[in-house]
């Protein structure tokens, strides 16, 4: 998900003494500093925020549930994106050159696609988990357990890995565009072009799961509203301890579904512009300006920054876990058994 279309009105080159060097967009020190000032906080927040999610769910036993395992795996994908992809993408966007060589260009691009596709898969899995938790609560424990969660997580990583590395290293994405690639290729560039077939397939791997998630969450909210109305009509009834426990669990599942629905909504807002442009641009002979394309890419990256912020805003357990981590209380004996929320 990288682009090296450089504006041709500059005479500065990525490598001054290399014959076929990419042209570098000239930026002042102040402009570069301003861009780094904009990008660095996003990179840091992505790494730190998702690291807190990873530590929290891994450390505290109360959080060891199938749903949280999926959230943990999603946070790992976002954390790795912030650690390995965003810094290099940030340098490329600011300096308008790729200085790591062709090997790391392919590796970086493959890892980029892997982590973004993994996020899509995990959001789908989380949506299915929430569907059973809210709409089929009596069947949830039999359908979704720790073993099933681990199987889903494995598939959620292996399938995107096969797709991302397969596409980049077989060069299927630019088959039929060899002449264009030859013209645009230069030292200091990291070019990714999708032909019409793979642009369509890339969009399909995004939009079909997204439409599926929208349908699932629509069903979840329909059921949740019915459950809320039912509870409202029974307010005057005296509930047994078991009834109250079930009501509390139902409210908890509905709140989790709402929060993760917001996560999915933010994901769509962040990534729809990129995938829409990629799908259409190939049919318009790649007319999207480099600066606009980079904005679409980075807007998608920011989704990984938003996720832990959403958890911090909606989940009290996240805020309590953050406090315990910052104060180093997680190193106390039996800290893993601390209750972060009331059962």
Per-residue pLDDT of the chain (343 residues; tens, 9 = 90+): 554 444 444 468 888 888 888 888 888 899 999 999 999 999 999 999 999 999 999 999 999 999 899 999 999 999 999 999 999 999 999 998 999 988 999 999 999 999 989 988 998 898 888 888 888 888 888 888 999 999 999 999 999 999 999 888 888 888 888 888 888 888 888 888 888 888 888 888 888 988 888 888 888 888 877 776 666 665 555 555 555 565 565 666 666 667 767 877 888 889 999 999 988 988 888 888 888 888 999 999 999 999 888 877 778 888 899 999 999 999 999 999 998 887 6
pLDDT at position 255: 66
pLDDT at position 8: 42
Beta strand extents in the chain (DSSP E only): 12-13, 23-24
Burial class (CB in 10 A: 0-12, 13-18, 19+), 141: exposed
Closest of 314, 311, 315 to residue 78, by C-alpha: 311
Provide CB contacts within 8 A for 135, sequence distance 6+: 219, 220, 223
d(CA 205, CA 129): 20
Provide CB contacts within 8 A for 53, sequence distance 6+: 71, 72, 75, 307, 308, 311, 318
Strand, coil or helix: 333: coil
Closest of 180, 221, 174, 226 to residue 202, by C-alpha: 174
**DSSP character at residue 15:** S
Domain ranges for the chain: 12-21+36-337
Q: Which two tokens stand for residue 123?
A: 């959001």
Q: Which two tokens stand for residue 124?
A: 């789908």
pTM over 0.75: yes
pLDDT at position 6: 41
Give the CA count within 13 Å in the CB-facing half-sphere of 145.
5
pLDDT at position 237: 56
Task: Answer whether 87's CB lies under 8 Å from 43's CB.
Answer: yes
pLDDT at position 251: 63
- CA angle 125-128-131, nearest 5°? 150
**Max CA distance (Å), the chain:** 83
CATH assignment, 12-21+36-337 = 1.20.1070.10
β-bridge partners, 12: 24
pLDDT at position 242: 55
pLDDT at position 10: 45
Q: At what angle do helices 290-301 and 86-95 cross, to 10 degrees?
A: 160
pLDDT at position 327: 93
């Amino acid at each position: 998900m990288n682009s090296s279309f450089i504006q041709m009105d500059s005479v500065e080159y990525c490598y001054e003494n290399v014959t076929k060097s990419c042209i570098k967009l000239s930026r002042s020190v102040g402009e570069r500093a301003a861009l780094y000032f904009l990008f660095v906080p996003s990179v840091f927040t992505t790494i730190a925020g998702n690291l807190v999610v990873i530590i929290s769910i891994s450390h505290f036993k109360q959080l060891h549930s199938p749903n949280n395992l999926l959230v943990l795996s999603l946070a790992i994908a976002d954390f790795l994106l912030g650690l390995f992809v965003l810094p290099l993408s940030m340098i490329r966007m600011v300096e308008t050159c790729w200085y790591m060589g062709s090997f790391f260009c392919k590796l970086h691009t493959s890892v980029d696609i892997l982590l973004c596709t993994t996020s899509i898969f995990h959001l789908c899995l989380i949506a299915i988990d929430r569907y059973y938790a809210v709409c089929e609560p009596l069947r949830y424990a039999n359908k979704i357990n720790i073993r099933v969660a681990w199987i889903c997580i494995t598939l959620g990583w292996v399938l995107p890995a096969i797709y991302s590395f397969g596409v980049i290293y077989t060069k299927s994405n630019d088959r039929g565009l060899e002449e264009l690639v030859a013209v645009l290729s230069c030292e200091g560039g990291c070019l990714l072009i999708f032909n019409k077939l793979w642009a369509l397939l890339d969009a399909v791997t995004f939009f079909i799961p997204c439409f599926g998630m929208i349908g699932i969450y629509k069903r979840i909210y329909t059921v949740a509203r019915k459950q809320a109305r039912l509870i409202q009509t029974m307010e005057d009834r005296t509930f047994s301890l078991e009834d109250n426990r079930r009501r509390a669990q139902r409210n908890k599942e509905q709140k989790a579904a709402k929060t993760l629905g917001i996560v999915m909504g933010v994901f769509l807002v962040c990534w729809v512009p990129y995938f829409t442009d990629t799908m259409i641009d190939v049919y318009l002979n790649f007319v999207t300006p480099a600066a606009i394309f980079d904005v679409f890419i980075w807007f998608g990256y920011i989704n990984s920054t938003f996720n832990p912020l959403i958890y911090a805003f909606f989940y009290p357990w996240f805020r309590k876990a953050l406090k315990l981590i910052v104060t180093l209380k997680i190193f106390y004996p039996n800290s893993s058994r601390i209750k972060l929320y009331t059962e």
